[in-house]
Structure 1
Amino acid sequence: MEIKEVEQQETLKNADIAREQQNNQPSRFDSSPTPKTCPVVRGYPLVGVLPEVLLNPLRLFQRAVKDHPGEIVALKLGPIQAHLVTHPDHVQYVLNDNWQNFGKGEVLWEAMRQVAGNSLVTSQGESWFRSRRLMQPMFTANQANALTELSVKIIASELARFEKAADGGAIDMENEMALLTQSVTLGVIFSSSIDRSRAETLVEALKVLMQGLSRRLFLCFLPKQFPIPGERAFRNAIQTTDDTILTIIRTRRQSGLNHGDLLERLLQARDEQSKTGMNDQQLRNESVVLFLAGYETTSTTLTWIWYLLDKHPEVERKLRAEIDAVIGKRHPTSADVVKLQYTKMVIQEAMRFYPPGWFLTRVVQADDVIDGYALKAGTTVLLCQYLTHRLPEFWERPEVFDPERFAPEHSRQRHPYSYFPFGGGPRYCIGKHLALLQTQLTVAMIMQKYRLRCVPGHPVEALPGITLRPRYGLRMIVEPV
């Protein structure tokens, strides 16, 4: 379980105090009697393990953890020294206990700043505190549930298209879930302010940006003069995104109408201290982040859920029974969402098994010590949810898909950072509640009508990019219930 929402809000209320504290906080592990040396995975001369990171970073990380369980492992990535952190105690220190000393860094987030500017996900320091104070109230569980009716309307519309695509043969569920969540996410952000033609243009541009971000993330360790493929397409996509979203924002400001969507909330938001709102560029930046973060992770989670349900028919039967009992054949409402507890447990377990955002990066701001391991300022820290979520010391039978492990009686004693699909600490993902809501609604509404079966013999393998997707897509046969 993550830190309770009320604790997160309290952290933000005390933000001014936290800002004034020394970045290099005393380590909670300072009682370690002797300093520890990080084992090093060196790889090849000069380039280190960089070729393995470019080919399959997850495989490299798995080997490092297997060879050095419970330790912070140093990885030589060309000119950069990175450290792989997987133990929940160490993760908690980085994301929560001394989070201010572990920033986003410049090199790793340079490409994202090209796309999203100085937004909540990319900013640091004063700018981040202001953005978080401004946006936090819009993304509570209650605020997410208020978008249920709008979400259900869009999902129902998309399922009509899905039904046509599924008629008469196998379909690629990864592609179908991407199309569905693109429409749902854009609809929840912009509602009627974006027509189908403009939405298609924007989605194509944002897909180019996602591909470019993935490429640039894993090439960021190379020299700046290294040519990155697709640079012109990347810049054109940024321009298209700017033109489309800024036009929507300016038109909305002039109309004065309340559309009841996320853009409306962003337009109305005021910082509690300065009493100021967002300018057009800030609105554009936050809208891009909401789409990229919301659509990609949600569609990936949904894809893996259908695969896991097909492989575990006993889970599917129990899930279907809950959906039948709670909502039957009608559309779900916000009152139903809280009753779909097993549905939520299935989603949580799917995000443990295949976390869509499978790793996080941070950069050490000032020399620090974690459990006796000394980390120099400027060191890149890699946190890997995929590996932490499967540590046998914290998870019974970690390679087994078992939603019951997220029942309240089984979750209370779990280490709070043995599971962190939405990050943790003050910078935890602000869209957590909305993502869970939309995933619950989509699972319930699809299962009301369909049963999905994997095409026999189709290979399924996790591909580690920005998100953890099926390498060859997910071919499935859709059967009516």
Structure 2
Amino acid sequence: MEIKESYFKQQQTLKNADTAREHQNNHPSPFELSPTLKTCPVVRGYPFVGVLPELLQNPLRLFQRAVKNHPGEIVALKLGPIQAHLVTHPKHVQYVLNDNWQNFGKGDAMWKPIRQIMGNGLVTSQGESWFRSRRLMQPMFTANQINALTELSVKIIAEELARFEKAANGGAIDMENEMTLLMQSLILGVMFSSSIDCNRAETLVKALKIILQQTSRRLFLCFLPKQFPIPGERAFRNAIQTTDDTILTIIRTRRQSGFNQGDLLERLLQARDEESKTGMNDQQLRDESISLFLAGYETTSTTLTWVWYLLDKHPEVEGKLRAEIDAVIGKRHPTSADVVKLQYTKMVIQEAIRLYPPGWFLARVVQEDDVIDGYALKAGTTVVLCPYLTNRLSEFWDRPEVFDPERFAPERFTQRHSHSYFPFGGGPRYCIGKHLALLETQLIVAMMVQKYRLRCIPGHPVEALPGISLRPRNGLRMTVQAV
């Protein structure tokens, strides 16, 4: 299996706790050792609460200021009685995600609200539980397996574009909302096909919308004392219960029917662990289904929203994109063979993700005392990675604020540090859904460019809002013109 040949190889030097401790004692970091340790600069903020108020109000602005004032350094952020450490330099990111990844777990505090939703799925699990989940799911997410979903995806997208045309009807629409609706239908269709009817889908989507709103609020409140009351707790728990009831009903009904519908749920049901020869129970199927849905629709709909914004602002890029789509697929529906040829389309998407990564931050917790490039970090320290900032470091990106898809041409992209761009994470916990996300995004962009020309409403303010993903603060108002 791919997991054994790839992921297990990457962890050989730190495979067990004894080896990890020996590695840490003899080689504190892969960097050149300095005679003295470096001191992390500290952003202190206000007395007692530190930078916590700014973190809750606008974390991205706080991180930007920290990096501007302390370029290339690991920066400590004072959060009341504790500190978090901001890591943005690619060599530091590589150490956290790849070189010593086992010592940087997902912890409890910041991941608690996500675990309340996703349970012990692939995104949230750790240790042996994660290894088993990865072994089970890796085979169904290879490029070839995902390409087999192209025909089903194209069918669903075409149906959704018919709805989209009615919603547009010549007037202004909110593209953020429209891309969210499109991706919700696409992900639910690819996952559950005909097992989910309109009523169930509507119930599930409403519950998940509440869940995402409440999770975004809780992510940065995790640094507050446990006794601190969080608004919306009842609504949050009720939405999780509704989600559980809906998805578990679908899973149990499908199990009993024995009918193969060729969707992702079917693949999850048929998955077997190569070592134990066992599959997933209903709870694990529920956890993995919700994880795939939330990770898939939120990130991809956000990426699509920024793609349309950037194309409107850069007509020369839109022209090249249209030329490629006309040459490769013309007016017909795309196939999996076409997707491989849509190279400039993929470059446009990659550059949009560089400027506006949906997963704009990642959090890890140091398991045992560690040293990164001379910076000593104690066990229990929260480390925050910020792709949004790493993706814009002028040391690694020429004119980093400029939208330039050509920078993702293969000959240029390979010249940069491997962790100067990490939209799907890195190391053994690299996002398993990468191929599916890129496939769906390419298909939607191609099929919409075939039919429409999208234009921003003049004067409508567009500003990145950092929440659970990086969305436009006031949505994205656009008009839709037929090509």
Q: TM-score, normalised by structure 1?
A: 0.97
The residue aligned with 1:23 is 20
Question: Which residues of 2 match residues 18-167 of structure 1 at below 5 A?
Answer: 18-21=14-17, 22-24=19-21, 25=24, 26=27, 27-167=29-169
Deviation, 1:114, is 1.0
Shift, 1:31, TM fit: 2.3
Supply the distance in 1 between the matched residues of 2:187 and 2:334 (Cα, whole angstroms). Answer: 18
Residue 312 of structure 2 corresponds to 310
SS at match of 2:226: coil
1:15: Cα distance to partner? 5.4
* C-alpha contact 1:329 1:448 (8 A) present in aligned 2: yes
Query: Please, which runs of 5 or more residues in structure 1 have no aligned partner?
Result: none
Q: For 1:257-287, what per-residue CA distance to the aligned partner results, in whole angstroms no more than 9, with x for missing partners?
A: 1111110110000011111000000000000
RMSD: 1.4
Question: CA 1:57 to 1:118, structure 2 compared with 1: closer, same or farther past 3 Å?
Answer: same
Per the TM alignment, residue 6 of structure 1 is displaced from its structure 2 partner at its CA by 6.9
- Aligned residue runs from structure 1 range 53-452, under 5 A: 53-452=55-454
Bigger Cα displacement from structure 2, 471-480 vs 129-138 = 129-138
The equivalent residue for 2:7 is 11
* Aligned-partner SS, 1:191: helix
Distance 1:458 1:423, change over 3 A: same
Dislocated runs of 4+, deviation >6 Å? 5-8
Whole-angstrom CA distance in 1 between matches of 2:12 and 2:4? 14
Query: Secondary structure, in 3 states, of the residue corresponding to 2:341?
Result: coil
Match for 1:140: what amino acid? Answer: T
| Deviation, structure 1 residue 412 | 1.6
Contact 2:106 2:126 in 1 (8 A): yes
Report deviation, 1:98.
0.1
Counterpart contact for 1:23–1:366, Cα < 8 Å: no
Gaps of 5+ in 2: none
- Counterpart secondary structure, 2:15: helix
Amino acid at match of 2:364: R
Is the Cα contact below 8 Å between 1:49 and 1:75 reproduced in 2? yes
Matches of 1:351 and 1:163, distance apart in 2 = 26
Give the CA deviation at 1:168. Answer: 2.5
**Separation in structure 1 between the aligned mates of residue 42 and residue 10 of structure 2, nearest angstrom:** 38
Kept in 2, the 8 Å contact 1:116–1:289? The answer is yes
In 2, Cα distance between the equivalents of 1:292 and 1:262? 14
Structure 1 residues 455, 300: closer, same or farther in 2, change over 3 A? same
Deviations 1:78-101 (Å, cap 9, x if unpaired)? 222100000000000000000000
Give distance in 1, aligned partners of 2:209 and 2:14. Answer: 38
- Residue 318 of structure 1 deviates from its aligned partner by 0.2
Residue 8 and residue 452 in structure 1: after superposition, are their counterparts in 2 closer, same or farther (change >3 A)? farther
Identity of aligned residues (%): 82
Instruction: Give yes or no for contact 2:10–2:428 (8 Å, CA) kept in 1.
Output: no
Cα 1:9/1:173, change in 2 over 3 Å: farther
Instruction: Give 1:11 shift.
Output: 2.0
SS of the residue aligned with 1:218? helix
| Cα pair 1:8 1:426 within 8 Å, conserved | no
Deviation at 1:197, TM superposition (A): 1.0
Give distance in 1, aligned partners of 2:62 and 2:13: 40
CA contact (8 A) 2:187 2:296 kept: yes
Shift of residue 413 of structure 1? 1.3
Distance 1:416 1:373 in 2: 21
Aligned partners of 1:463 and 1:470 also within 8 Å: yes
AA aligned to 1:236 is N
CA distance in 2 between partners of 1:157 and 1:104 (Å): 39
Q: CA deviation at 1:8?
A: 9.0
Alignment TM-score, normalising by the size of structure 2? 0.97
SS in 1 for 2:453: strand
For 1:20, the aligned partner's letter is N
- Shift of residue 298, structure 1, vs aligned partner: 0.1
How many Å apart are 1:33 and its aligned residue?
Answer: 3.6
1:298·1:439 contact (CA, 8 Å) conserved in 2? yes
3-state secondary structure, aligned to 1:363: strand
